[in-house]
Chains A and B, each alone.
Chain A
Amino acid sequence: MSEQQLIQSDIALSAEEIQQIDAELAHMPQKSGAAIDALKIVQRQRGWISDESLMAIARYLDMSPEALEGVATFYNLIYRQPVGNKVVLFCDSVSCWICGCDGVKQKISEKLGVDYGETTADNQYTLIPVPCLGACDKAPVMMVGDDLHTNLNNEKIDQIFSGQVSTTASTTESTAESTTTSEEEGS
């Protein structure tokens, strides 16, 4: 789906989304308690949380958009910008680093033509670093979509992304670290 189509489908919550959110609400003494679950439900359906989705959820949960935005932007696995069909969560934490994840990362970047926070031009993959996936005994590790890949090396990367042709990245810079950019020190 193109971004345009996504925005158009975001105008209201779908019946399915509402049904799932209602199921969560049944456990909550306050509506805002279902905020995280509602964001996850909508993200599962739409891939990411657009401004329009956020407004629709906020309205449904009687929250101000600011309050929900606070929740949405706190978690870096709630995507406030479009991501590819599958998100590659690549662990760059200490165990994986000891086991040589840097080289694997370089291989992924070459294979997909993207750096952290970028999406492949064919919109298949978005590469995001995560601090740990809880599988340090099998480091280096990453998740592609819902699948965990362990003991990574260059060959495995070729297998996992076989069929993927290296292209240049789309313009999206960063997903999780979205509100800030860095700049040289001023003085």
Chain B
Amino acid sequence: MPTIYIDGTAYEVEEGKNLLEACLNLGLDLPYFCWHPSMGSIGSCRQCAMVQYQNEEDTRGRIVMGCMTPVTDGARLSLQGDTASEFRESVIESLMLNHPHDCPVCAEGGECHLQDMTVMVGHRDRNYRGKKNTHRNQYLGPLINHEMNRCISCYRCVRFYRDYAGGTDLAALASHDHVYFGRHQDGVLQSEFAGNLVEVCPTGVFTDKPLVDDYSRKWDLQSAPSICVGCAVGCNTSPGERYGRLKRIQNRYNQQVNGYFLCDRGRFGADFVNSESRLNFAGVRQEDGSDKGSYKAIRADDALSEVAGLCQQGTVAGIGSPRASVEANYLLRRFVGTKHFSNGMSDVESALVNQILETLKNTRAISPSIHQIESADAVLILGEDVSNTAPRLALALREAARNKGRELAAEMRLEPWMDAAIKNLAQDQYSPIFIAGVHENRLNDIAEAGVSLAPDDIARLGFAIAAEISGGRAIDAVENLDADLSALAGTIASTLKAAKNPLIVSGSSLLNSAVIESAAAVADVLSNEQENVFLSLSVPECNSVGTAMLGEGMSFKDMMDSASQGNIDTLIVLENDLYRRAPSEDVDKLLENIKQLVVLDSLDNATLSKSQIALPTATFAESEGTMVSSEGRAQRYYPVFVAEDDRLASWQWLSELGQVLGLSGFDQLEHFDQVEQTCAGEIPALSGIASAAPDHEFRNRGLKIPRQPARYSGRTAMRADVSVHEPKQPVDDETPLSFSMEGLGVGQPSSLMTSSWSPGWNSNQSIQKFQDEAGGAIKGGSSGVRLIESGQSLGDGLNAHTRSVPTAFHPSDTESLLIPVYRVFGSDELSSQAPAIAEMSGDAQFVISSESAAKLEVVDGDGVSANINGVEVTLEACVDPSLAEGCVGFTTGMPGTESLVATAVGLIVSLRKADSWQRRKPQLIATDNPNAPTVTNQQSLQSGVSHV
């Protein structure tokens, strides 16, 4: 390890780092702006200047940029010397020339990297008395606020948006002292990763719009470690609360999972917690009288005894949910008995998730973390549109694609952090990514080859690749494969074989088990020949894997049959809208055949409005629980704030219900840890969840971990409009966290990091103070525990894969195959209830090919009808020229298509132009103000209106 001398002190540092990283890793404060651990160095801001000396005799030295200078053995440097300090101060002073003095009204204030760095360099007095440049701000959509005057031109935003996330509609415009970061004209930022600009921008140019509209300072936000419920990736988040409202979601760094970035569904979708359709109190439906059908609020105790009363009459069955925690599902299963429990997935989905679970257990390939995915050097995607079903994974694939550039850089002896040089060297050379999907997706721009095929043909291509890799030994060749596809299979096979870390991505989204099987086959034959084969299989929901691990239980069909025979008296549904899982007639029939329905949920939905008794549950932000991600990583989330009114965590309702009824063992299931430990003890697949996070007795050097920052303000005044007496802070008996600012929030395990702050580092950049090295793992290890480690034996089962090779799909002239199409905004049940996400999502659509559009004589925005399962479904047409021949897609999970995923995929339908169709009004994108005229860039430039 090289030794470097900083201000006369010798330090051992890691080779291959730059001086800035080395200093930060040593705990020294060297200010910076443009450098980012995930994006490397470009040396644009000149802030991390140090003085480097030739040798011991050299007393003058020369100024070098820390981020652009590799560490060399024996280097002599000055960090604190006058030359370096004065230079850094002058840089900040220059940056401040045009920066407005608007910190008090800036949403970044209090967590602003520019503020921190300004204080750090000691620049205090503004000597500049001239005019400041001002800019016109742009409307960038419902998620991001734009305030260009604050810009210090570090270029981080475009480097993230374009280079890292593959967005095209944000650029650096103009030059020298009036560089402008924005769009060509006002409009919604198109990338689903735009929200990261809020965290990437070192000051307040890009801020969180929903937060700005309902604002609280970072130091006033109460936070707890949480897990995103938007998809199955399991990104770690740090939600912030004040006044009983979830104010915002911030990234919580986990090197193995989300690193520094989230997708916008995760960041802005959690607003459903504040939804108007949240349930506050338990309700009993009125069965007669004038208010028949409405709900009467009752006290929680009464609700418990009512439900207990129902449960004492006859058989009770329960339906769990892949969006509820492992613990809640486990308790329901225990409450109703294994024989009467269904995991709450649709039958088709349940089969696929179990198939994925079995595959991951048996294959020798590794189920990779997002971090491992970033190390892949050849990728095959079979069927899964990850940009829409698991967006953070898509971002990792972009990072993987850049490994080619790093390879080339290594040959040229360039350091891996020399971002601009590597980008210039690589140009548009990427590590090979092959995509077979039902339509082109947002990753196709970096794909070596992409084909659009019907789901069965994707599976056939997968099997052909597997056969090609195995040389026909382990897997039989696919019969009657199209010559082009055969050639493509050959190319893909040889590329994967040549790779060091090949990655196969697939998943359940097409609801086609052969696609998953073919992905497993490719991974298996590859694992036969090499180590480090990654197989990443996506599942639909945040806890699909955890719920499946509880065991299969009853299928929906079993439940229907049992009910129709009169075997179910009371049905308890846990956080699940059954109308999204089965055809509505089937759900109606099931509910008719039972006597009572009890629903536990947080938001109003179709199933809930059929219940006799509704119990209000806490969301992820108000309760604790464990979820298992598609990787197989069990992660714990904690209540950020105390649930208001009579809301309780689902596990608590079920635990109390069991106690009221005196069910055996429920006296030992009073606390969360007891539930979780009992579950881990009883279910071998889930035995690891107990070590996912410390139990409630954990203390950080004898103290609880505070949810509130040390500078939390106004605690005595917050309720002054209600009462002048300050109430006692709520007590948390279930977790090691406290609902107060007292305690010790430093040095705890990463699974208990509430938010990131360090003295002098108020922004999210403070995370480097908690990492073992810049961009590395949090000291003490990344949080979460992997429950699935890859299997060891291949046995002779390999060829079993070929049993499910489907026959080729033959497109028909008159009819189309119905396939699901996913939308990052709109397809997910909960996030769609967040107003900002709802604004982004638009209406449900039929996605049709150009040929179909021509045949039907429709264009984008016209209405198209199809008879699906005897119901006439009319949706807006979206013409996608890349759609596989003979297919028609429907956007999943949106109003009008909720149940189609569970019921209609794979049907053959005939489309026709809708008879009467009201075209949707063009979306307003020009400005926040609906009355203002559309402003083009041209006009805006001329008018030169300025905002301060």
Contacts and interface: CB of A to CB of B under 8 A. Distances in A.
Interface of A: 29-30, 50-51, 54, 64-67, 69-70, 73-76, 80-81, 171-173, 177-187
Interface in B99-135: 100-102, 128-135
A180 B134 contact: yes
A97 to B, nearest CB: 19
A81 B130 contact: no
B174 A178 contact: yes
A66 B171 contact: yes
A39 to B, nearest CB: 14
Nearest to A52: B938
A179 B178 contact: yes
Contacts of B610: none
Contacts of A171: 942
Nearest to A180: B178
Instruction: Give chain B's interface residue range (CB within 8 Å of chain A).
Output: 35 or more
B946 interface: yes
B651 to A, nearest CB: 48
B124 to A, nearest CB: 14
B175 A184 contact: no
Contacts of B136: 179
Contacts of A172: 942
B54 interface: no
A66 B184 contact: yes
Contacts of A178: 174, 941-942
Most B CB within 10 A of own CB, among A29, A69, A70, A179: A179
Nearest to A64: B168
B229 to A, nearest CB: 33
B944 interface: yes
B941 A185 contact: no
6 contacts: A30-B427, A51-B936, A75-B175, A180-B174, A182-B133, A182-B134
Contacts of B944: 173, 180-181
B946 A65 contact: no
B173 A69 contact: yes
B448 interface: no
Most B CB within 10 A of own CB, among A29, A73, A80: A73
B184 A65 contact: yes
A179 B183 CA distance: 12
Contact of A50 (B102, B427, B938): B938
Given A66-B183, A186-B101, A179 B938 contact: no
B101 A184 contact: no
B132 A179 contact: no
B458 interface: no
B180 interface: yes
B428 A179 contact: no
B171 A69 contact: yes
B169 A66 contact: yes
B80 interface: no
B172 interface: yes
A148 B177 CA distance: 29
Contact of A81 (B131, B941, B946): B941
Most B CB within 10 A of own CB, among A29, A54, A80: A80
B606 interface: no
Nearest to B135: A180
A177 to B, nearest CB: 6
Contact of B133 (A75, A173, A180): A180
B134 A179 contact: no
Contacts of B936: 51
B131 A183 contact: yes
A181 B174 CA distance: 13
A70 B174 CA distance: 6
Given A180-B133, A184-B131, A185-B130, A64 B942 contact: no
Given A172-B942, A180-B134, A64 B174 contact: no
Interface in B169-195: 169-175, 177-178, 180, 183-185
B937 interface: yes
A69 B136 CA distance: 16
B427 A181 contact: no
A95 B208 CA distance: 49
Contacts of A187: 101
Given A30-B427, A51-B938, A64-B169, A183 B174 contact: no
B907 interface: no
Contacts of B129: 185
A30 B185 CA distance: 25
Nearest to B179: A179
A75 B177 CA distance: 13
A136 B941 CA distance: 33
Contacts of A173: 942, 944
